[in-house]
């Protein structure tokens, strides 16, 4: 880590009591937002953002890479930090730091322009990070969202197919039961006809047989 970067980090970042977490100097911590979620909520709970040393390093590295020559906002910020240890109000502190800047020919406009320059550097980093996040969101979420939509469409289509096939099966079962009933009726009719034929056949052949027997007995 370069000396300039260490200086920058000292100007803007202080360690908190929790390891790995940082907050901006002189900025009170925001109370944690209370969010009520339900077990059936489809949207995951997103925790409130916290200042991170990792991201401070990224942003301060960008500022270091674009550090302007001579006395600029960063040097003015260092003066403000030094004066913060002295018993003076905020206005006096800003004027005192500016007096040192004026001795080097620096105007208030130059300091303001310098600060705005670094804001643009940070805005550029924000834009790049947003672009990176959008790419990751597309890669890790967008594709899965489309896959879910495709699966939902497939499930809907197959559910409709199942419903249609269930109706067709029910219709086939009804046709089958109808044909079974028709077969049963046909069997009864056919077997009854056959039984009637055999009864008639037996009765007639018995009569003829009796006549044959009597003819043999009486016509000798």
Span 3-48, pLDDT tens digits = 666 667 677 764 433 334 444 444 444 444 444 444 334 567 888 8
Predicted pLDDT of residue 121: 93
Nearest-angstrom CA–CA distance, 80 and 69:
19
Query: Do residues 56 and 13 touch, judged by C-beta distance below 8 A?
Result: yes
Q: Domain ranges in the chain?
A: 3-26+50-137
Predicted pLDDT of residue 85: 87
pLDDT at 116 over 70: yes
Predicted pLDDT of residue 5: 61
More confident residue, 70 or 83: 83
Q: Which two structure tokens, joined as six digits, stand for 215?
A: 């003819």
pTM, two decimal places = 0.52
More confident residue, 20 or 125: 125
Q: Average pLDDT in the 138-158 region?
A: 89
Predicted pLDDT of residue 205: 94
pLDDT at 214 over 70: yes
Q: Which two structure tokens, joined as six digits, stand for 106?
A: 């620096």
């Amino acid at each position: 880590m370069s000396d300039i970067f260490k200086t920058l980090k000292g100007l803007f970042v202080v360690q908190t009591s929790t390891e790995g977490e940082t907050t901006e100097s002189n900025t009170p911590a925001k109370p944690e937002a209370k969010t009520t979620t339900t077990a059936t909520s489809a949207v995951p709970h997103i925790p409130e953002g916290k200042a991170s040393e990792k991201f401070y390093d990224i942003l301060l590295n960008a500022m270091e890479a674009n550090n302007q020559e001579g006395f600029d906002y960063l040097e003015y910020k260092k003066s403000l930090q030094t004066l913060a240890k002295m018993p003076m109000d905020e206005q006096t502190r800003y004027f005192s730091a500016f007096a040192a800047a004026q001795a080097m020919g620096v105007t208030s406009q130059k300091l303001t322009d310098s600060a705005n320059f670094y804001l643009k550097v940070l805005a550029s980093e924000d834009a790049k990070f947003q672009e990176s996040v959008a790419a990751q969101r597309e890669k890790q979420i967008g594709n899965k969202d489309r896959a879910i939509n495709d699966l939902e469409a497939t499930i809907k289509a197959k559910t409709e197919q199942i419903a249609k096939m269930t109706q067709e099966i029910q219709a086939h079962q009804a046709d089958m039961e109808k044909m079974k009933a028709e077969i049963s009726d046909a069997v009864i009719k056919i077997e009854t006809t056959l039984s009637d034929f055999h009864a008639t056949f037996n009765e007639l052949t018995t009569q003829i047989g009796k006549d044959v027997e009597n003819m043999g007995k009486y016509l000798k």
